[in-house]
Amino acid sequence: MPWSAASLSLATFFSALVALQLYRIVSRSYRSRKLSKQWNCEPVCRYPSGILGYKVVLRAKTAAQEGQVGSTIQGVHLQYGNTLKVNLVGHDVVATCEPENIQAVLASQFSSFGLSEWRYPQYRPLLGRGIFTSDGTAWEHSRKLLRPQFTKNQIPSIEWFDSHSENLMRSLPPDGHAFDIQPLAFRLALDSATGYLFGESINSLVKPDSNQTGVAETSGSGNEGFAAAFDYAQDILFRRTLALSYYWLINPSDFRKSTRVVHKFVDYYVDKAIEYRSNIGNYKTGHEQKGEEYCFLHALAAETQDREFLRDQLVNVLLASRDDVASVLTSTFYLLARDTGAWWKLKQEITDAVDRHASNITLKEIQSLPYLRGVLYEVLRLFPPVPVNARVAHHDTTIPVGGGPDGRSPVFIPKGQMVAYSVWCLHRRRDLWGADAESFRPERWERYNPPAWEFVPFNGGPRACLGLLRTEQFAIILISQQVFRLVQHLDSIESAQPGADIGLNPPLRQTLTMCHEHGVHLRVKRMRI
């Protein structure tokens, strides 16, 4: 009898749970239909995702294995429209490449959209409570501390940039020897980032297998080197991102080991900065008296000496500073090596600039070169370093377009729904960029100034990437200057990529950022003086 009573109570309890869940589903559905009608929304095209989105998962897995995530998403948009709904591991997601929708989620409806409730736990093992994992008041606090550190008044001298250019040139193999420029681009980006952000470069272009942190950039033992550990950790974070609320299922021991390697690397600099801060007292006075180059970490340590906070912010900013820069530099030479006309036109512009200014050319003059600017913008258009991103609705809202037969009606977005947007697809839309949208043509930038939300390589709105948003700032200056110096000192380059030419859709490795799956192999010939 007691067992029967217990069974009955248990059955009643579970029946009540099921009834409550059904009530919530019906209530949510009714509310969605009511608000959708009230706000003049129309249904959006639905992608055949299968049960719990298993078809999407399988297609995404194949695309990642083939290095074709961007082109696969592009194919889906071409078939189903610029805005559609997919189911991913049981969660409805709206995918879009409409500039109006991207503007809405990033800027004009900024208060309505933010990071998902899973973002912090997904990324916490590596990025902690940094600028890229925080939302609301925590994000405002991080932004308030970080934003003043990225201004044009704190950019290093051209001599500082040139020291890294010289290390890169010395790292190139003898003329005519094939080599992969991608690992060199990552080392260059890491050297400049640690020098600018942390006040002490690890000089991995000079000595990749040892440095002062105790964590080498390169190691022969698995993920013990910083580069391998950082890259592997980002790969796992990307998989955890795709798993949405099931991120906790992806937590291999190598991931935890890799995050410890990255944190050990950054902790060396954090501890030095705290010691430096305590020794000199007022940072600004000490900085001015010594005439030192600006150091982001020392300035940040003047605001707080919370060790964990400093580490989290540094790992976040290092991710953008290293990976975005390396991605753009590598893609630049991938494209230039395939287009001799663009190479020689850029070479002539840079040669003329050197002749005009002799050895006195400035960073501002380098940035003002129109064809160089066109080359870099075209690289950012075709190979944006973060090709896919997403936001989640904080409350019931809409996005401007995508609904109805013509795709021009608003779309209802219930609270908690994710809106994923593809910058890759946006930048390759023929209706926006012309019939040659998938061609590398720097000349298009001579007369064309696209509407702001049709070209968003570094996002936009309040959460825009702090170090890369404006051309006056550090990373874009670094990219411009490094391309300038390489082209100045090289007589010619040619592609040494193995296999057949794969055009503008080479295999790409997609993690939190994008890089070339098989690298970018070149042969170069130096200028003879």
DSSP strand pairing (521-526 vs 91-96): unpaired
More reliable by pLDDT, 106 or 11: 106
Please give the Cα distance from 165 to 169 (Å, whole number). Answer: 6
Binding annotation:
465
Domain ranges of the chain: 39-281+290-526
Surface-to-core class of residue 315, CB atoms within 10 Å of its CB (0-12 exposed, 13-18 middle, 19+ buried): buried
Q: Residue 235 has what pLDDT?
A: 94
The answer, yes or no, to whether residue 27 has pLDDT greater than 70, is: no
Q: What does the pLDDT look like over 437-462, one tens digit per residue? A: 999 999 999 988 888 899 999 888 88
Q: Quick one: which H or E segment has residue 224?
A: none
Q: Residue 466 has what pLDDT?
A: 52
Q: Residue 290 has what pLDDT?
A: 52
> What predicted TM-score, i.e. pTM, was given to this entire model?
0.89
Q: What does the pLDDT look like over 131-187, one tens digit per residue? A: 888 888 887 777 777 766 665 567 788 888 999 999 999 999 999 999 999 999 999
Q: Residue 17 has what pLDDT?
A: 62
The answer, yes or no, to whether residue 221 has pLDDT greater than 60, is: no
Q: What does the pLDDT look like over 324-351, one tens digit per residue? A: 999 999 999 999 999 999 999 999 999 9
The answer, yes or no, to whether residue 493 has pLDDT greater than 70, is: yes
pLDDT category at 470 given cuts 50, 70, 90 is: very low
Q: Which residues pair with 398 in a beta bridge?
A: 412
Q: Residue 128 has what pLDDT?
A: 93
> Percent of the chain scored above 90 by pLDDT?
62
> Percent of the chain scored above 70 by pLDDT?
89
Q: Residue 234 has what pLDDT?
A: 94
Q: Which residues pair with 93 in a beta bridge?
A: 86, 418
The answer, yes or no, to whether residue 222 has pLDDT greater than 60, is: no
Around Cβ 17, how many Cβ atoms within 10 Å?
Answer: 10
Range among 162-166, 209-213, 501-505 rated most confident? 162-166
Least confident segment among 285-289, 338-342, 523-527: 285-289
Q: Residue 293 has what pLDDT?
A: 66
What mean pLDDT value characterizes the chain? 88
Mean pLDDT of 481-489: 96
Binding annotation for heme:
465
Pick the CATH number of 39-281+290-526 from 1.10.10.60, 1.20.120.140, 1.10.630.10, 3.40.980.10: 1.10.630.10
DSSP string over 103-160: HIIIIITGGGEE--TTHHHHHHHHH-S-TTT--HHHHHHHHHHHGGGSSGGGPPPHHH
Asked if residues 179 and 521 have their Cβ atoms less than 8 Å apart, the reply is yes
Q: Residue 528 has what pLDDT?
A: 81
